[in-house]
Amino acid sequence: MTLDVAELKSRLHKQSELIMILKSRADSEMENRKLAECKLLSELKRNQDLKEQLVQYQQKASDAEINSRVLRSNLDSLSFELLCQTSAKKLGHHLTDACIQAEPVKTFQDKSISTQRNDEECLDVYRDKFRRLSEKSNELSGLINQAKSFYLKNQKTLQISLEGLIGLITKKDNIHLRTSKDYHDHCVKWENERKTLTSQLEDERILNNDMRMKLNEAYADKSKLEDTLKKLKEQREREMKEFNANVRVKCLEEELMNSKLEMEQMKKDFEAYKIYTKELLDNERRLNKELRQLFN
């Protein structure tokens, strides 16, 4: 049973439409993939910026911790110095009490007032330094806490962004794999259909060539048969003519034979008539002779 060429063309057209649909779907998936890649690059750049900011804040936090340790060391040094001066002042009071008997009362009072003033000035200076150092330490502690808070916040944001990026990458990979698999399956299916249709078309072409050759042979046989029929017709006409001529000759021969028979019969009749007339003449002569003899 031969295949219908129109049906094959229709199937090829449907396959071409399916390929165009798959190509459009693949182009759409590629566009989505490009958008996802652009978004991924944007998120990566944003994460890189966040990482750089985190590094900067970590550096600031490290510097603040170093400054805080330095300030604490300075506070400890000042506290130790203040403690030493206070101890020295107490020791100076004990020495003054021991020397009261040797010095006059007025001289002792002057020295005591001068020493008290110096101690108050030193205490004021150290209190002012301690206050500034405490403010600087509080400021640095605030910066450290701010840096830690920003670090934790950005770390959570970075973690969320990374999870989102991982989800986007996974989704993109799944879409790409699914699209690639669908495209591969459709390509394999189309390739098999194309091979089948090509084989069927090749078989149809071979069959058409065979039919064309057979038709050409049939046309050649038909021409030969027509020539043979023409020759046979001419031969029949000749034979008919010959047959008619033979029939005519036979008829003529029969007519000739009949004519010959009639001639023979006529000859016989004529011979009989001649004999009859001769007899009549003989009888007439005899009668005439007898009559002449009678009249004589």
User: Do 144 and 65 touch, CB atoms closer than 8 A?
Assistant: yes
The burial of 71, by beta-carbon neighbours within 10 Å (0-12 exposed, 13-18 middle, 19 or more buried), is given as: buried
Q: Which amino acid is at 80?
A: F
Name the least confident of 126-130, 131-135, 252-256.
126-130
Q: What is the pLDDT of residues 261-274, one digit of tens each?
A: 888 888 888 788 78
Q: Cβ of 64: how many Cβ atoms within 10 Å?
A: 21
Mean pLDDT of 86-115: 50
Name the least confident of 52-56, 110-114, 260-264.
110-114
Is the pTM higher than 0.75? The answer reads no
pLDDT number for residue 145:
72
What is the torsion angle, in degrees rounded to the nearest 10, for the CA atoms of residue 66, residue 69, residue 70 and residue 74? 170
Q: Of 275, 22, 8, 50, which Cα lies nearest the Cα of 156?
A: 50
Q: What is the pLDDT of residues 73-99, one digit of tens each?
A: 766 676 666 666 665 555 554 444 444
pLDDT number for residue 96:
47
Mean pLDDT of 169-182: 74
Better-predicted residue by pLDDT, 84 or 223 = 223
User: Do 164 and 43 touch, CB atoms closer than 8 A?
Assistant: yes
How far is Cα 201 from Cα 180, in angstroms, rounded to an integer?
A: 30
All structural domains of the chain, each given as residue ranges with its CATH number in brackets, are: 20-186 (1.10.287)
How far is Cα 15 from Cα 2, in angstroms, rounded to an integer?
A: 21
Contacting residues for 96 by C-beta, under 8 A, at least 6 apart:
108, 111, 112
Stated as kind and residue range, the H or E segment containing 69 is helix 5-98
Percent of the chain past pLDDT 70, that is, above it, reads 63
